[in-house]
A and B are shown apart, each in its own frame.
Chain A
């Protein structure tokens, strides 16, 4: 009996909560946005992270997309997020270093943007210094080498004086004053819709296509601890993100000009560590590594095969460093490359939902 009383009161509380939550009938209620999650992700991975205080809505995503492509976010209306995150490059930049508004260069290669809602530690950038996509998006706008504003207030002002944005923000968030928090919320919503899960290898895993013998052998090299041993950091068929999103020193340098994670944590054991990038869409994301030092996949594979450099923080998963690496045969190198390219997803870069109208 006591339980029933308790229950009834819980029910009442819950009901009354939902009552008080309701928005006045006059306000526009944005439509919840349903993420189109690939079946493979649904089966294999835990749910993507969507912050409770920034649920996806149709209006929010559309607004975020518009902002992402809009040069209004730059000081001189010359650059947008998309200037360094090009849809055709899986939202990365073909330039080794990206050019900002003033012509200045950053120090790292732009990162591709996809499957970000599955970055479960929610740490962004090569060194993971931004917590959450909303936080991340605050930076480029006021980075002198990117969109170049000295502070956010002038951007907020531009947007508030714009003929359309105030209405769009009102529809997405129910408020008429545009703030940086809302701008970054909208952009983050759009970014979370950038899902890539339809590569040849995905289709292979779904039983829709077969691999060539070369691609199959390349996959075996990738999964073989005696040869590539790439899977300990870059995923496997059960982790179709093709990254662990963790920080490693993969043996690029003997000493570091860019400390990477070590710069963020202040811990010398983290020096030279960067977040493992996903191996999806490599066909579009050259050049490679945090500093874009390699123009081709052949160079990357050669690096892992014979170019490893020992240092105090090199990951022990990098084997035979004294011999430069595991010295893959020419056949294995070519096959590994063929396999890596099966992880590229043409439907992602051509998805009209991700292209400017």
Chain B
């Protein structure tokens, strides 16, 4: 154990040596991402996830039980088009604040102005069945007969909770099954145009508006599409479209 710690220290020190080129005068900044969750103007976190009663675009009154999702391949792109790619992926459980932050391991970028891009879920290369131990442990796999890999989103709740006939919905997103044994990639590239000025070490807030999953471009009718949606090709493709407007850039804090 002590050996390992020592090795780690050694590794990080030698890494620091390489990363600090003396001839480069642009200061470097390290970046963290902080995801916050909203239903339109209402902040959603572990304290009100299960108690907030909200109305979706189509008019159904819903309660939420569980929202977990996966995003990956964070990239910051500067004004000259240089792309800084961050390792790792981010698994968020809205009921657990400790999962809101994502600090990529190696992430020194020159100060400047950037836009953010990331992948909703995993792209085809990353979406390898069973390959990530932490995600396996989260029970996050997408069934092999639906194409395998991992869930991108698990959003469970009840709708029509204002009536005596409330029903469950399971808005789960992942690889789309076209037909038996034929699958279609279903990740999305999220490009956020808002310029992000990085003048020093910064935390970038990324806001998820949960209401958008039901809104744009497809107005979601839970009475028709509640559960099961995982094997439903059309539902999967509509989710892929709707996720495009779910994220926006929030505050940049230094």
Contact = CB atoms under 8 A, between A and B. Distances in A.
B133 interface: yes
Interface residues of A, number: 39
B160 to A, nearest CB: 11
Interface stretch (A2-10, A127-135, A163-171): A2-10
B80 interface: no
B134 A223 contact: no
B179 interface: no
B93 to A, nearest CB: 10
Contact of B134 (A46, A226, A235, A246): A46
B139 A317 contact: no
B250 interface: no
B143 A231 contact: yes
Contacts of B50: 269
Nearest to B132: A238
B65 A10 contact: no
A11 interface: yes
A14 interface: yes
Contact of B139 (A229, A244, A269, A322): A244
A13 to B, nearest CB: 10
Contacts of B26: none
A233 B141 CA distance: 11
B170 A44 contact: no
A120 B137 contact: yes
Interface string B201-240: 0000000000000000000000000011111000000000
A226 B170 contact: no
Contacts of A244: 138-139
Query: Considering residues B9, B139, B158, which has the most beta carbons from chain A within 10 angstroms of its beta carbon?
Result: B139
Given A7-B13, A239-B136, A317 B156 contact: yes
B247 to A, nearest CB: 24
A319 B137 contact: no
Given A318-B168, A322-B165, A239 B141 contact: yes
B139 A321 contact: no
B231 A225 contact: yes
B2 A322 contact: no
Nearest to B171: A316
Given A7-B13, A220-B145, A316-B157, A235 B139 contact: yes
B104 interface: no
Nearest to A205: B130
A316 B169 contact: yes
Contacts of A158: none
A45 interface: yes
A93 B143 CA distance: 34
B10 interface: yes
B9 to A, nearest CB: 6
A225 B227 contact: yes
B125 interface: no
B5 interface: yes
A23 interface: no
A53 interface: no
B182 interface: no
21 contacts: A45-B136, A46-B137, A220-B145, A223-B144, A224-B145, A225-B143, A225-B227, A225-B229, A226-B228, A231-B139, A239-B136, A239-B137, A244-B139, A269-B51, A315-B65, A315-B156, A316-B170, A317-B156, A319-B170, A321-B167, A321-B168
A196 B14 CA distance: 43
Contacts of A14: 2, 5-6
A236 interface: yes
Interface string A211-242: 00000000010011110010111011111000
5 closest cross-chain pairs (CB), A and B: A316-B168, A225-B228, A238-B130, A316-B156, A244-B139
